[in-house]
Amino acid sequence: MQDIRRKAEAELKRCAEFFPVVTILGPRQSGKTTLSRMFFKDYAYYNLEEPDLYSLASSDVNAFFDMVKTPCIIDEVQRVPQLLNKIQVLADKTKTNGQFIITGSFQQGLKEAISQSLAGRTAILNLLPFSISELNDAGLDFSRDEFLFQGFMPRLYAEGQPADLLYRSYFQTYVERDVQSLLNVKNKAQFEKFLRLLAGRIGQVVNYESLSNDTGISSTTIAEWISVLESSFIIFKLEPYFENYTKRLIKSPKIYFYEPGLVAYLLGIRNAEQIPRDPLVGNLFENMVILELLKAQYNKGLEKSLYYFRDSKGFEIDLLIADGRNVMPVEIKSASTIAPDFSRNLKKFRSFAKNTESPAILYSGNLEYESDGIRYINFKHSGKLV
């Protein structure tokens, strides 16, 4: 089994030193359990996916904690959120930091419950699947197209599981089972069609009316489905930046997926050789690069501060990385060679946005340099920007 260290380890250690409870949130199979059990080797471990434990915890919270030994790890706590009140009581009683490590893979309601029950008592760490830099540090390197096809799920690299088997199982087990049960979806085929359509609009501004027309599903239902997919760590939104450069700004978010490999599966891409010919290759690449930056922020314990910019005339910057009132404009290009027009929008943005810092172009080429105040960086080094 390949040993791949997580860059979130330092932040996890720091959180456990200063809080009685550490909450690790992230997609199914993103490595939350592995990281917890590796880092806290001597902790007792309780998985609420186990039927007997779930039955006990959900029926009698006190009996469950009579059985629990601390310090401990409690996995998939969203299944029994009423445990959080008791964890609060125990944390206040012991006054010892690092006593409870809890994980969750569904945000809807859980974050609110945590903020109510564990306010001031827990640090929250978001853990996504492997980053490119984590894989590179472990001596694993792949091409742009291989990354876009196979994605970043830990089982691909730690266990050598084939991508086609993994994402088929992931889709059937977690996306269909978990999400459909939460939504009480009665038409499985309709939901699958919606997901594949959503994958086909990756990196685009959300248009509920258009999705409704293409699926025959009401805009209200689509909004609900998107909300649950977001809470389940299947998709995330990139919000527009609202600094008052102009009053004519696009104000709707874009949709991206947390796992590029799942997108490839939903789009029917069956090998890496198909990627360059796919009409969405630019969008797929943009999704992966934005994810790399998001992972870098989360691994450092930072809040997401990524946005895009577009005005009503169609002028756009792919990504803005906000740092206080300053922003770093970033253009994302899937090409491996530099074209003269790559820097055009960055120069225009810099001309009217006075709070601009160190513009950058992230692309597939290996040559890295700076010209006219703009940095050209290979996509595998994207995380260094945050």
| % of the chain beyond a pLDDT of 90 | 80
Please tell me whether residues 212 and 346 are part of one structural domain. yes
Helical residues (DSSP H) of 118-246, grouped into ranges: 132-137, 144-150, 154-158, 163-170, 180-183, 188-199, 208-215, 219-231
Residue 331 confidence (pLDDT): 98
CB neighbour class for 303 (10 Å; exposed up to 12, middle 13-18, buried from 19): exposed
Q: Which residues contact 150 (CB under 8 A, 6 or more apart)?
A: 142, 156, 163, 261, 264, 272
Higher confidence at residue 72 or residue 355? 72
Q: For 151-158, what is the mean pLDDT?
A: 95
Same domain, yes or no: 207 and 256: yes
Mean pLDDT of the region 16-45 = 97
The answer on 121 and 55 residing in a single domain is yes
Regarding whether 339 and 217 lie in a shared domain, the answer is: yes
Does 99 fall in a domain?
A: yes
Model confidence, pTM: 0.94
Looking at the fold, whether 37 and 173 belong to one and the same domain comes out as: no
Q: Which residues contact 240 (CB under 8 A, 6 or more apart)?
A: 249, 250, 251, 252, 253, 307, 308, 309, 310
Residue 257 token pair: 């997926």
Query: What is the model's pLDDT at position 354?
Result: 83
Single residue among 126, 156, 190 that ends a domain in this structure: 126
Q: Quickly state the pLDDT bin for 111 (edges 50, 70, 90).
A: confident
Averaging pLDDT over each range in 89-98, 109-118, 176-185, which range is the top one?
A: 89-98
Q: Is residue 225 located within the same domain as residue 272? A: yes
Q: Look at residue 33 and tell me if it is in a domain.
A: yes
pLDDT, position 1: 52
Among 95-104, 171-180, 182-191, 225-234, name the most confident range: 95-104
- Report how far residue 305's alpha carbon sits from residue 324's, in angstroms, rounded to the nearest whole number: 9
Q: What angle do CA 257, 108, 217 make, to 5 degrees?
A: 65
Q: Residue 69 domain-assigned? A: yes
Query: Which string of DSSP letters, residue by residue, matches 157-174?
Result: HHS---HHHHHHHHIIII
| Tokens standing for residue 290 | 């934005």
Question: Considering only 40-49, 60-69, 247-256, 361-370, which range has the smallest mean pLDDT?
Answer: 247-256
Per-range mean pLDDT, top range of 215-219, 242-246, 332-336: 332-336
- Phi-psi bin for 317: left (phi > 0), alpha (psi -120 to 50), beta? beta
The structure tokens listed for 124 are 């929250």
> Is the bond preceding 71 in cis, omega lying within 30 degrees of 0?
yes
Residue 73: pLDDT band (50, 70, 90) is very high
Task: Give the Å distances, CA to CA, from 360 to 31, 143, 307, 326.
Answer: 31, 21, 15, 14
Regarding whether 355 and 242 lie in a shared domain, the answer is yes
Q: Which of 126, 145, 174 corresponds to the end of one domain?
A: 126
Question: Is residue 122 domain-resident?
Answer: yes
pLDDT bracket for residue 176 (50, 70, 90): confident
> What is the mean pLDDT of the segment spanning 234-258?
84
pLDDT recorded at residue 165 = 94
Q: Are residues 141 and 74 in the same domain?
A: no
- Give the span between the Cα atoms of 316 and 38, in whole angstroms: 43
Across 209-215, average pLDDT? 91
Find the CATH number of the domain harbouring 80.
Answer: 3.40.50.300
Dihedral over Cα of 166, 169, 170, 171: its sign: positive
2 within a domain of the structure (yes/no): no
**Residue 66, Cβ density class (10 Å: 0-12 exposed, 13-18 middle, ≥19 buried):** exposed
Q: 300 with 265, same domain?
A: yes
Which tokens go with 128?
């996504």
Position 204 scores a pLDDT of 96
Which of 30-34, 131-135, 174-178, 256-260 shows the lowest mean pLDDT across its residues? 174-178
- DSSP letters, 250-310, are --SPEEEES-HHHHHHHTT--SGGGGGGSTTHHHHHHHHHHHHHHHHHHHTTPPP-EEEEE
Token output for 192: 């699958």
| Residue 1 located in a structural domain | no
What does the buried/exposed string (b/e) look like for 321-344 if buried means 16 or more CB atoms within 10 Å of the residue's CB?
bbeeeebbbbbbbbeeebeeebbe
For residue 155, the Cα-to-chain-centroid distance in whole angstroms is 17
Confidence (pLDDT) at 247: 58
Q: Is the pLDDT assigned to residue 342 strictly greater than 90?
A: yes
Q: State residue 115's pLDDT score.
A: 83
pLDDT of residue 248: 60
- The pLDDT score that the predictor gives to residue 187 is 78
* Angle at alpha carbon of residue 31, lines to 25 and 37, rounded to 5°: 95
Q: Residue 321 pLDDT > 80, yes or no? A: yes
pLDDT tens digit string along 271-301? 999 999 999 999 999 999 999 999 999 999 9
Domain check: are 174 and 261 in the same one?
A: yes
Is 341 inside any structural domain? yes
Query: pLDDT confidence of 370, banded at 50, 70, 90?
Result: very high
Find the mean pLDDT for residues 313-331: 94
Question: Domain limits at 310?
Answer: 132-385
What pLDDT is stored for residue 246 in this prediction? 59
Same domain, 93 and 143: no
Which of 92, 126, 160 is at the close of a domain? 126
Single out the residue of 51, 48, 17 nearest to residue 32, CA to CA.
48
Overall domain count for the chain: 2
Q: Give Cα 5 distance to the centre of its chain.
A: 18
Domain co-membership, 290 together with 245: yes
Mean pLDDT of 334-340: 94
The answer to whether residue 297 sits within a structural domain is yes
